[in-house]
Chain A
Amino acid sequence: MNFFTFDVRKVFLAIVAIVLPLLAVNMQRKTEEELWFTKPFTWTSGWVQKGYSSFSSGVRGTTAMYIDLINIKVQNKGLQRENAELRAQLGSMTELKMENERLSKLLGFKQSSNLELLAARVIGHDLLPDHKTISIDRGTVHGIKKNMATITTGGVVGYIYRTEATTSQILLLDDRYAVIDAIVQRSRARGFVEGYARDQVRLRYLKRSDDVQVGDLIVTSGLDNIFPKGFPIGTVTSIDKSRYGMTQEVELKSVVDPMNLEEVFVVLNTQTAAALKESGL
């Protein structure tokens, strides 16, 4: 067989299947940059997720009411119809009451802080279990931009990394691609918080001589112009000081469990607030 006789179709297929993806991977691109050709699909996915979320809320409401009605029927068999209806209403109100209490707490937090906050509902998670992102039902039409901070009453959640008209995606603080400028609250030593492994975050690039102890609270430094200064990220659980290294690595337990959130706040004015603070106004 002649060495130079080859099937052009097969060569083309091999290029498309393996060479192109390999070239694409090797091309220099910042992870936060979004490809223009994926935009329509991101937009579509946001809408589909939002649709599912609305459907789910409706179904949950109906199911909760149905279950409550069954319970009331069992408990109040002998009671008058009027009484049963009142009890049914009371049962269905429990979920609303709990939601009301949660939202009141969030509202109180919003009013007490000087930040311009936008409340958003979590509508989706990441496709892959090793990637920690969530989708919210607010987008560019609500004033959301890329790299805006997201927080909750407990502390830092993550930051916006992809936006669409009515939905956005948040890179959670425990994702491996997330980096947050942080300081030790007690000693003011500075480092970077990164997602490390399963549900773990680490404070890295902290100087070897910096003062940090187990139990210390790590807060945002505000220097990245993304997060407001002083928001809790996590508490120190262990310190790894290698024998010859210049830095020490600190393991943290995040104050917020980002995977179990239902509502978050997007900080709309961090950059303005930071600029005002610096100018002394």
Chain B
Amino acid sequence: MKNHWLTALNIIGLVVVANVLSAFQTSLWMQVLGGFPPPFFWVIVLTYVILHRHVTEGVFLVYLFTLTLSAYTSLPFEQFLLTNMMSLVLILLIKNRIYWSSPNYFMLMVSTATVLHFFLIFVLSQFLDRNPLRSPELFSWTLSFLMTILFSIPIYRVLKWWDRVTDRDELAESTGGLVI
């Protein structure tokens, strides 16, 4: 029988990692490196749970992450939730068609998720904001995109290690996708 305590511990660990990394991105990074664009650590953790969890658990975790991470931004909670949920659906659609379990695939999906977030935030802003985003911080997004890819593998290793410690099973290739 699967140990539910370990599952709970795994989820708590993932939320803590997402928060600690986001606080690092918003606080310590700017104090050490000033205005140099930071990596989007939260996108890495978010992509990990979308790819490595069953769709039901993935949706639950994305809700949980949005709830905790909205404390770090002025983007309204509802808009942030919609952005993350749309990313989840699109990433699962890609996963449904192309999937292989390797760090390279993860890196590829993290880069896709970063671009998707940028695109979704921009597009949703046009429809939902009274004062929409006109000229996004392209340079900052590009550098952050590159930094995110650079940091994706080390964080992937840490999250994989955490899954092993908390006895999480590797998701089979055929499961966890969005069956339409």
A residues sitting closer than 8 Å to B (CB atoms) are 9-10, 13, 16-18, 21-22, 24-25, 27, 29, 31, 35, 37-38, 41-46, 48-49, 51-53, 55-57, 60, 123-133, 135, 161, 169, 171, 175-177, 194-198, 259-260
- In contact, B31 and A129 (Cβ under 8 angstroms): no
Q: Do A195 and B78 touch across chains, with their CB atoms under 8 A apart?
A: no
Given known pairs A17-B89, A44-B19, A127-B26, the reply for A176 and B71 (CB within 8 Å) is no
How distant is the Cα of A161 from the Cα of B73 in the complex, in angstroms?
A: 11
Which candidate, B97-105, B130-138, B158-166, B167-175, is the interface stretch facing chain A? Answer: B130-138
The 6 closest A-B pairs by CB, nearest first: A48-B23, A45-B71, A124-B27, A24-B78, A127-B72, A42-B71
| Max count, chain B CB within 10 A of own CB: residue among A9, A35, A52 | A52
Q: A127-B22, A128-B73 are in contact. Are A16 and B59 (CB under 8 A)?
A: yes
B78 and A41 contacting across the interface, CB-CB below 8 Å = no
Produce 1/0 per residue, B17-60, CB < 8 A to A.
00110111111101110110100001000000000000110010
Tier of interface size on chain B = 35 or more
> Taking A48-B19, A260-B35 as contacts, is the C-beta distance between A55 and B28 under 8 angstroms?
yes
Chain A residues whose CB sits within 8 angstroms of the CB of B30 once the complex forms: 124-125
Asked if B135 and A197 make an inter-chain contact with CB atoms under 8 angstroms apart, the answer reads yes
Measured between C-beta atoms, what is the minimum distance from A150 to chain B in Å? 14
B7 within 8 A of A: no
CA–CA, A127 to B125, complex, Å?
Answer: 16
Q: Contacts A16-B59, A41-B67, A45-B23 hold; do A127 and B31 have CB atoms under 8 A apart?
A: no
For the complex, give the distance between the alpha carbons of A52 and B81 in Å: 26
The secondary structure that dominates the B interface is helix
Evaluate contact between A126 and B26: CB separation under 8 angstroms: yes
A196 and B121 alpha carbons, distance in the complex (Å): 16
* 9 pairs from A and B in contact (CB 8 Å cutoff): A10-B179, A21-B85, A45-B23, A48-B20, A57-B31, A130-B137, A133-B74, A169-B74, A197-B134
Complex Cα gap A55–B32 (Å): 11
In the complex, besides A127-B26, A133-B74, 8 extra interface pairs with C-beta distance below 8 angstroms are A18-B85, A24-B81, A41-B68, A48-B20, A52-B31, A53-B31, A124-B30, A127-B69
Contacting pair B78 A56 (CB below 8 A): no
Q: Is the CB of B76 within 8 A of A17?
A: no
How long is the Cα–Cα vector from A177 to B134 in the complex, in angstroms? Answer: 13
Contact yes or no, A53 B67, CB < 8 A: no
Given A21, A45, A52, A197, which contacts B78 in the complex, CB threshold below 8 Å?
A21
| Cβ contacts B125-150/A at 8 Å (1 or 0 each) | 10011011111110011001000000
Decide if A38 touches B23 in the complex (CB within 8 Å). Answer: no
Chain B residues near A60 (CB, 8 Å)? 31-32
Contact A41 B134 (CB under 8 A): no
Query: B63 contacts which chain A residues (CB < 8 A)?
Result: 16
> How far is the CB of A31 from the nearest CB of chain B, in Å?
6
Minimum distance in angstroms from A123 CB to a CB of chain B: 6
Whole-angstrom distance between the Cβ of A166 and the nearest chain B Cβ: 14
- Bound: A42/B26 CA distance, A: 13
Q: How far is the CA of A18 from the CA of B78 in the complex (A)?
A: 11
A38:B77 contact, CB within 8 angstroms:
yes
Q: Which residues of B contact A128 (CB under 8 A)?
A: 73, 75, 121
B144 contacts which chain A residues (CB < 8 A)? Answer: 129
In angstroms, how far is the closest chain B Cβ from the Cβ of A122? 9
B82 within 8 A of A: yes
Residue in B37, B42, B82, B133 whose CB lies within 8 Å of A21: B82
A133–B86 Cα distance when bound, in Å, is 25
Please report the C-alpha to C-alpha distance between residue A161 and residue B72 in the assembled complex, in whole angstroms: 12
Closest to A50 in B: B27
Q: Complex Cα distance A170/B101, Å?
A: 42
Q: What residues on A are CB-neighbors of B70 within 8 Å?
A: 38, 41
What distance in Å separates the Cβ of B117 from its nearest Cβ neighbour in chain A? 9
